[in-house]
Amino acid sequence: MEPDNAAADRDRRAGISLRELEVLQALVAAGTAISAARKLQMSQSAVSRRLAQLEDRLGFKLFLRLNGRLVPTIEALSLSEQLTPVLDTLARLISRSDRSCDAHQGSLSIVAPPTIAHRFLPGPIAAFKRRNPDCQIVFDVLASDSLLTGIAEGRFDIGMTDSSVPHDGVTSEPLLETKAICVLPRGHPLAVLDVIRPEDLQDEPFIALSRRHSSRAAIDRMFDKAGLRLNIVLEASTNVSVIQFVREGLGVSLLNPFPLDHDLGDRVAMRPFLPAIHYCTNFLMPSSRAPSAVTRAFVQDVRASLEGGLGRGADPPGAVIDPDACP
């Protein structure tokens, strides 16, 4: 019978991902995490995490830190040399597949809740359609709970939402993580603060999202735990509506900055909020079937639109745009 520690080592190494091996190769070639991150289009923190995971799985160090550079060990160099033909072959296969699918045909059904649907997705969808003119696209707008059911039932190929509602019929793939910001009418007394905290909002007129939003429950729990009361004067079903009521001076609110941070207008101020409330925006796909080639191509295009800044202004205070940060 295999010893327990040998079996554990085997299971740990079996979990090594392709991305971790790509990080190893990029670090051997680049010598610094920031250069490797640029090459792989990842964040520097994500590269460091992937390296730490790989070293943990292998059970030995791959790099030495020397004068700000990562110096590969003999083991790292040996692994990189063995990986080169494998990754080169994979790259050629992907390139060949991309060339054969430069213009995707077929159909793609997309669904999103109102804020993401109206304030972010039109740009990426239009760009994808221009590159794939023969692809028939159907774009629907639904509340997050109805969206989840529709995807689980296979009525949509892909959706996008920041609501964290697990469902056995849905597979999620993280896109980015953000942190809540406090939005206030321009000139509000709290706007002089660098950071807004729960106690600052005690008894302030507050515009809340309706209770069907998972983020509303997180906010309510935070204030209950702090023994504070939110003075909710109005509830709205979308972030866009909340922003409008803040703009009209009816109160303040806490919101996900994506994708509204560039579109608040000059009558609204935003400030970081602590302790952090995290939002993870995910792609959602039916778990009953593998995503089609056109679905995967759309996912890649949306990621590229974020990296290129399509539809986004400067990141707001407190925002963390890091696809690898989502759980």
38 and 184, same structural domain? Answer: no
Domain-terminating residue out of 76, 100, 124: 100
Burial class from Cβ neighbours inside 10 Å (0-12, 13-18, 19+) for residue 275 reads exposed
- Percentage of the chain surpassing pLDDT 70? 84
Alpha carbon 192 to its chain centroid, in Å, reads 30
d(CA 238, CA 141): 12
Task: Say if residue 39's pLDDT is above 50.
Answer: yes
In a shared domain, residues 167 and 284: yes
Residue-level pLDDT at 321: 47
315 pLDDT band (50/70/90 cuts)?
very low
The secondary structure of residue 198, as a DSSP letter, is G
Parallel/antiparallel/unpaired status of strands 268-272 and 136-141: unpaired
Q: How many CA atoms lie within 13 A of 235 on its CB side?
A: 8
Asked whether residue 166 carries a pLDDT value surpassing 90, the answer given is: no
**Residues 127 and 185 occupy one common structural domain:** no
One domain for residues 254 and 221: yes
Residue 101 has pLDDT above 50, yes or no: no
Q: For helices 44-58 and 33-40, what crossing angle results, to 10°? A: 100
In a domain, 66, yes or no: yes
Q: Is residue 56 one of the residues assigned to a domain?
A: yes
The predicted model gives 201-218 an average pLDDT of 90
Six-digit token string for 326 = 């989502």
Q: How many domains does the chain have?
A: 3
Return the closest-CA partner of residue 286 out of 142, 168, 169. 169
Same domain, residue pair 146 and 286:
yes
Query: Are 165 and 310 in the same domain?
Result: yes
> Is residue 324 in a domain?
no
User: Quick one: 116 and 200 in the same domain?
Assistant: no
Instruction: Kindly tell me if the per-residue pLDDT of 90 is higher than 60.
Output: yes
CATH number at residue 160: 3.40.190.10
CATH number at residue 86: 1.10.10.10
**Average pLDDT for 108-135:** 92
pLDDT bracket for residue 14 (50, 70, 90): low
pLDDT value at 313 more than 60: no
- pLDDT for the residue 266: 80
Q: Is residue 326 part of a domain?
A: no
> What pTM does this model have?
0.62
pLDDT at 308: 63
pLDDT tens by residue, 230-284: 999 999 988 889 999 999 999 999 999 998 877 777 889 999 999 999 999 999 9
| Residue with token string 């206030």 | 184
Q: What are phi and psi of 100, to 5 degrees?
A: -75, -15
The set of residues, in sequence order, having a beta carbon less than 8 Å from that of 254 and lying 6+ positions away, is 180, 181, 182, 183, 219, 273, 277
Give the range of the structural domain holding residue 261, as residue numbers without chain letter: 179-278
Residues 86 and 127 in one domain: no
Same domain, 310 and 265: no
Domain match, 69 and 210 both:
no
pLDDT at 9 over 60: no
In this structure, of 87-101, 267-281, 287-301, the range with the lowest mean pLDDT score is: 87-101
Q: Is position 323 within any domain?
A: no
Percent of the chain with pLDDT over 90: 40
Cα 200 from chain centroid (whole Å): 29
The C-alpha angle 34, 160, 39, rounded to 5 degrees, equals 15
Q: pLDDT digit string (tens) for 182-197?
A: 999 999 999 999 999 9
For range 106-120, the mean pLDDT: 92
Q: How far is CA 98 from the centre of its chain?
A: 24
**pLDDT tier at 93, thresholds 50, 70, 90:** low
What DSSP string describes 224-282?
HHTT---EEEEEESSHHHHHHHHHTTS-BEEE--TTTTT---TTEEEEEBSS--EEEEE
Residue 116 lies in a domain: yes
Residue-averaged pLDDT of the chain:
84
Final residue belonging to a domain, choices 81, 100, 119 = 100
Look at residue 130 in the predicted model and tell me its pLDDT: 92
Residue 31, in any domain of the structure: yes
Considering 36, 66, 100, which residue would you say is the last residue of a domain? 100
Strand 253-255, strand 268-272: pairing: unpaired
Supply the pLDDT for residue 97: 55
Q: CA-CA distance, 23 to 194, in Å (whole number)? A: 37
